[in-house]
Structure 1
Amino acid sequence: MNKTWIVLGATAGAASAVALAPVAIAAMGFTSAGIAAGSVAASMMSSAAIANGGGVAAGGLVAVLQSAGAAGISTGLGAAAASIGGALGGAGGWLARRFK
């Protein structure tokens, strides 16, 4: 059974996810200068603050994404992005091989 499509898809997916994660985080409004007004990030922060009684929980999704926007992607976040991208890319490669 030829698994070339699956390997290529997983590799491309993992590499793309790691490369595009910082772009996606910035596009959401998590920047090095803080959360951009009127952005998706601002909406997320508002929702998190309302849910937590006025503050944003340390270690929560908003805090992690803001940290990544301000300081860059950590090793753990990069590994998570690569894992998800690799899985999705591998699934795409499997589909391409199956339906070619």
Structure 2
Amino acid sequence: MMKRAAAAAVGGALAVGAVPVVLSAMGFTGAGIAASSIAAKMMSAAAIANGGGVSAGSLVATLQSVGAAGLSTSSNILLASVGSVLGACLGNSPSSSLPAEPKAKGDEARENVPQGEPPKSPLKSEKHEE
């Protein structure tokens, strides 16, 4: 239960903290859209599609607003909630601790256990050439 709660807390904090970092890396900064960035390419495509301007409420406009001013309190709460749920789900899933396969009887490792009878020596030819 504690593992799940910790994963939920980490997921929520990570979701809220990652948004500004990701938007800034994409080029949506507080000073505007960075030149030669993914954001600039998105803005160019949106402007071409709309006949020369970026329409208000479009994805590019919304991301620029968030990049410049940050998320509102209600958006941060919603994002933290979603991140907490995802973190709790991922924290509850088995990662590298897969269940062991059932072993068959007599399948254990053995060390120097003698076999039924010793190996036979090679057969000798009855004809001896001298």
Q: Mark yes or no: TM-score above 0.5.
A: yes
2:83 aligned with 1:95, yes or no? Answer: no
Number of the residue aligned with 2:65 = 67
1:85 CA displacement: 1.9
Structure 1 pair 76–60 and aligned structure 2 pair: CA distance change class (3 A): farther
Number of the residue aligned with 2:109 = none
SS in structure 1 opposite 2:93?
helix
Number of the residue aligned with 2:84 = 86
2 CA distance for matches of 1:79 and 1:39?
A: 29
Letter in 2 for 1:48: A
User: What does the per-residue CA deviation read over 1:30-61, in whole Å, with 9 as the maximum and x for residues that have no partner?
Assistant: 11111001111111112222232322221222
SS in structure 1 opposite 2:67?
helix
Q: Which runs of 4+ in 1 moved over 4 A?
A: none
Which structure has more RCO (C-alpha within 8 Å, separation ≥ 6)?
1
Number of the residue aligned with 1:40 = 38
1 CA distance for matches of 2:74 and 2:58?
A: 15
The higher radius of gyration belongs to 2
Greater displacement, 66-75 / 81-90: 81-90
Residues matched between the structures, number: 97
SS in structure 1 opposite 2:47?
helix
Larger helix percent: 1
1:8 CA displacement: 1.7
TM-score normalised to structure 1 length: 0.78
1:93 CA displacement: 0.7
> Is the 1:5–1:96 contact (alpha carbons within 8 Å) kept by the matching residues of 2?
no
2 CA distance for matches of 1:60 and 1:76?
A: 20
Number of the residue aligned with 2:27 = 29
